[in-house]
């Protein structure tokens, strides 16, 4: 009888221990899910804040550029063959000189590929429109794609003055 009682106590102790482990595991899972939920909510809050900031900003951040690029229709594009490939630094400097903001610029080391994302610098941040462009230089070819909240991109394209930096074939 004593052995049966000891065996019952041991089994009860094991059952309680397993139950405690299951509850602890479940608690950790709930905590992990809550932490992920909080992280997602925080990321969403920061995205919304950045988008709100875009409405009063004079230039775009890279995240706002990506967001805006995905929402606007293409307003124009062109491509041409080049006699020689300009450097990324030359293109960036030229665009900034002519009043554009270079949002990002990537050039692959050991490659002649260049990608530049740019936007206008808004003087009227309360209701000024956004103009965005992406330039790609690849294998002696220059490609430009432009998007604008107002479909008239003529003034922006003229301001590029790309003939000063591109040697067209």
What is the DSSP track for 13-59? HHHHHHHHHHHHHHHHHHHHHHHHHHHHHHHHHHHHHHHHHHTT-SS
Residues 149 and 83 in one domain: yes
Which of 54, 72, 87 is the last residue before a domain boundary? Answer: 54
- 136 near 117, Cβ under 8 Å? no
Residues 50 and 2 in one domain: yes
Which of 38, 54, 70 is the last residue before a domain boundary? Answer: 54
**Which domain CATH number covers 157?**
3.30.310.10
> What pLDDT, on a 0 to 100 scale, did the predictor assign at position 46?
66
Residues 159 and 115 in one domain: yes
Residues 131 and 102 in one domain: yes
Mark the ranges of the chain whose per-residue pLDDT is less than 50: none
How far apart (Å, rounded) are the C-alpha atoms in residues 79 and 62? Answer: 24
> What pLDDT, on a 0 to 100 scale, did the predictor assign at position 151?
66
Which of 15, 30, 54 is the last residue before a domain boundary? Answer: 54
State which residues form the domain around 16.
1-54
Residues 66 and 50 in one domain: no
Q: Which of 147, 149, 162, 143 is nearest to 97 (CA)?
A: 162
Residues 10 and 89 in one domain: no
Residues 81 and 144 in one domain: yes
Q: Is 61 helix (H, G, I), strand (E, B) or coil?
A: coil
Residue 104 token pair: 């990002």
By CB neighbour count within 10 A (0-12 exposed, 13-18 middle, 19+ buried), where does 143 fall?
middle
Q: Domain count for the chain, please give it.
A: 2
Residues 105 and 159 in one domain: yes
């Amino acid at each position: 009888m004593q052995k049966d009682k000891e065996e019952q106590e041991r089994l009860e102790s094991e059952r309680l221990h397993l139950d405690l482990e299951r509850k602890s595991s479940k608690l950790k899972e709930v905590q992990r899910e809550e932490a992920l939920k909080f992280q997602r909510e925080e990321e969403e809050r920061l995205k919304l804040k950045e988008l709100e900031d875009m409405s009063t900003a004079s230039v775009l951040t890279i995240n706002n550029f990506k967001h805006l690029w995905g929402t606007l229709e293409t307003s124009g594009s062109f491509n041409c063959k080049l006699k020689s490939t300009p450097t990324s630094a030359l293109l960036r400097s030229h665009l900034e000189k002519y009043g554009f903001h270079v949002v990002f610029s990537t050039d692959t080391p050991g490659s002649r590929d260049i990608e530049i994302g740019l936007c206008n610098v808004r003087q009227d941040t309360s209701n000024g429109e956004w103009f965005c462009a992406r330039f790609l230089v690849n294998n002696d070819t220059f490609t430009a794609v432009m998007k604008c909240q107002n479909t008239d991109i003529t003034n922006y394209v003229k301001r590029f003055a790309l003939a000063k930096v591109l040697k067209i074939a």
